[in-house]
Amino acid sequence: MALTAVSALALAACGGTGGSPGGGTAAAEPAELECAVTDYAADQQFTSPEPMEVSMLWTDWPESPVTDSWRIFDEIEERTNVRIVTTHVPFSDAVEKRGLLIAAGEAPTVIPLTYTGDERPFAASGAVLPLSDYAEHMPNFNKYVDEWDLREMVDNLRQSDGRYYMTPGLQEVSVPMFSLIIRKDVFEEVGAPIPETWEELQTGLELIKEAYPDSLPLADGFEGQSMLNYASHAFGTVAGWGFGQGMFYNESTGDFEYAPTTDGYRDMVAYFRGLVDAGLLDTESFTAPNDGTGTVTEKIAAETVFAASGASGTVNEFAIALDAAGVTDYELALLAPPGGEAGQVVEPRNFWHGFMVTAQAKDDPNLCSTIQFLDWLYYNPEARELVQWGVEGETYEKAEDGTITLLPDFTYTAYNLNTDTGSTDIKVDLGWGNDVLAGGTESRVLKESYNQPGYVDYIDTVLSSRTPRDPFPPAPLDEMELERASLQATPLKDSVDTATLQFILGDRDMSEWDAFVSELGSSGLASYVELINSAKDRWAEANG
């Protein structure tokens, strides 16, 4: 999604309502609003004194489309006096459609499913509101930013004018969503270590290959993008889904460098190339666009793959496939991302998706109520529990210690809950736990409430044995710089994607690595790196 957002830079730049604000980086004064609810505070129910509507861009997931039976919209309206009115875009091209609607000034007020970085082009063009100007009307957001020590991370979202233009999903604990899932029983069967490092993983894969010679024991299923993402941190680089601008901050020099030109990136590529040469990596899973399902799940079930990328939900998918194939006595485990030459390092502490508000809302007399409603919906703990589980006493029960239990008549297939007793899926049939509203404030208790015990163990393991990489220093670009960066970054990224896959799959010899780096240099790399470092220096000078 982040890469698609980069391709939308030109659209957003053409569709804004104003240019880049004057170049200073000092935070702006709060905007003055007239609020119908003047005593709204954190941990309180927001209710508009008059009925109102808030329009929202809604991404339709194929497996859970909005239906007339969805209870969620009615319950939210009953509690807040606010009706959510949806504009629908298909999941298949949601990011492109979002960019087109915003560029044309035809987008609804609220743009959810916004990840940090998605907002940059729209902020630079003035197409979305600077939510930092309205932060005083978001008491729940501010409370949990401070309680969970996230203020510095939020400040790093500020753009070149000193404002931030989206509010993200806040997580009390942040661990990588995707990591390595293994058939733990098979690793133990062949005497392989439960891998703490990528080197130990290779040892285990070699032992499995000896016992199961027809297997290609390791797979990704996300065109390599997931595995390269969580592997990259252990090699001291960025790659895959986490490639972003392609920059890696060198603490010893104090400058950004282009990740694919570093030793860490080369070592990572060489590692996976070695797995391919040894017959340990399923290359189809690095090329087939199957979004983590399809062939990899089938190969897990057929016992030709024994380790693959995935999240907690993927563990359930693999388990269902193994059961259907008649495989018994298996044990699946989601492991903390393996360590490597850079240490037992994982991605920095991170946000979940949040939302933007389009610039047309600036003159809406109900803007304050809209901001307060969104603060309640996304950041109030009771609202988060409502959105995730439904209505207490109606779909779930809550014990005195906070434990949540889904009532027997309901199922939550996405998390493999009550699949043997429930007839009504709270997500598919009622809209609870839907992906569009799933961002916002998520305490550790709420995160653990809907996940299997194995995922709770995963959280504990990551927090106790892995170190999050420090975030990179800010380097926000203004509107003109974003356009220039897009023109430079896109062809460079295309070259990197092509060459990375060629080297890993064996279509290009590793002896040609220096030639590849030279090719990047001849494609304007130095100018691009200078642009990012200049923005970093400018921000540091203005903000200390």
- Is the alpha carbon torsion for 133, 137, 139, 141 positive or negative? negative
Q: Give the span between the Cα atoms of 376 and 441, in whole angstroms.
A: 10
User: Helix axis angle, 198-211 relative to 263-277, nearest 10°?
Assistant: 10
Q: What is the pTM of this model?
A: 0.85
Query: How high is the pLDDT of residue 5?
Result: 32
Query: How high is the pLDDT of residue 414?
Result: 84
Which own/partner contact pairs does 89-92 have at CB distance under 8 Å and 24+ positions apart? Answer: 89/57, 89/58, 89/59, 89/60, 90/59, 90/60, 91/59, 91/60, 91/61, 91/62
Query: How high is the pLDDT of residue 20?
Result: 31
User: Helix axis angle, 367-379 relative to 72-80, nearest 10°?
Assistant: 120
Q: Give the span between the Cα atoms of 424 and 428, in whole angstroms.
A: 8
Q: Which whole-number Å values give the CA distances from 107 to 93, 133, 479, in the listed order?
A: 15, 21, 20
Query: How high is the pLDDT of residue 543?
Result: 84
Q: Which pair of tokens denotes residue 251?
A: 């603490």
CA 522 to chain CA mean position, Å = 33
Query: How high is the pLDDT of residue 23?
Result: 37
Please list the pLDDT of the chain residue by residue as tens digits (544 residues): 333 333 332 222 223 323 333 334 445 667 789 999 999 999 999 999 999 999 999 999 888 899 989 999 999 999 999 999 999 999 989 999 999 999 999 999 999 999 998 999 999 899 999 999 999 999 999 999 999 999 999 999 999 899 999 999 999 999 999 999 999 999 999 999 999 999 999 999 999 999 999 999 999 989 999 999 999 999 999 999 999 899 999 999 999 999 999 999 999 999 999 999 999 999 999 998 755 556 899 999 999 999 999 998 899 889 989 999 999 999 999 999 999 999 999 999 999 999 999 999 999 999 999 999 999 999 999 999 999 999 999 999 999 988 999 999 999 988 889 989 999 999 999 999 998 998 889 999 999 998 888 899 999 999 999 999 999 999 999 889 988 998 999 999 999 999 999 999 999 999 999 999 999 999 999 999 999 999 999 999 988 7
Q: Give the span between the Cα atoms of 146 and 149, in whole angstroms.
A: 5
Q: Give the span between the Cα atoms of 11 and 237, in whole angstroms.
A: 30
